Amino acid sequence: MSGVKLDPTIRRLREAEGFLELGMPSHALEILQSRPDWATMQFEASYLTGEALRELGRYRDALDPLETAARLRPGNLMVAVALGWCYKRTHRLAQAIDALTLARRSNPDEPLLPYNLACYWSLAGNLERCLQELEAALKLQPALRSLIADESDFDSVRDNPAFRCLAEGLSTNR
């Protein structure tokens, strides 16, 4: 039985992705940085490089490859979430909100986007937008309610009655 040989570029990218899945971002990064140009696989290489750097806690370094991936595939859900994560941790909250808002246009039924937007709006001090996004997220996926209690991003709004109603699954009169 003769096996089909994978293109070497695809094989290397799959290796890098495998290392990321195994929680070995340094190994993935080593593969991804082994060549200066990934030609036809630029999106994949940029995204995986950004993810490896993000997992290593190198948020500022992760932004360039993630921004490249976002330019190549605007509205990509995973790129937007990773960008938001890194922007938040580099004190660029407005850009985190912009990245997720853009992705939400392409992924209107994805509850992760409004949930994260609720977190970011809470951090930005905009209670009304926080509540709107949280309500939208919970309508799409009520199980997200279980994450609210441990989410430190909501600490500044926890005492608000409308927030408490949403968090506890009670009816709101907003």
Question: Residue 87 and residue 20: Cα distance in Å, rounded?
Answer: 21
- The answer as to whether 3 is a domain residue is yes
Predicted structure pTM score: 0.81
**Whole-number percent of the chain with pLDDT over 70:** 93
Report how many domains make up the chain.
1
- The answer as to whether 88 is a domain residue is no
Contacts of 135 (CB under 8 A, 6+ apart): 166, 172
CA dihedral 101, 107, 111, 112 (to 10 degrees): -60
pLDDT in tens, 68-127: 999 999 889 999 999 999 999 999 999 999 999 999 999 999 999 999 999 999 999 999
Reference 85, options 67, 49, 59; nearest CA is 59
- The answer as to whether 136 is a domain residue is no
Domain of residue 10, residue span: 1-77
* Domain of residue 21, CATH code: 1.25.40.10
> How many Cβ atoms from other residues are within 10 Å of residue 108's Cβ?
11
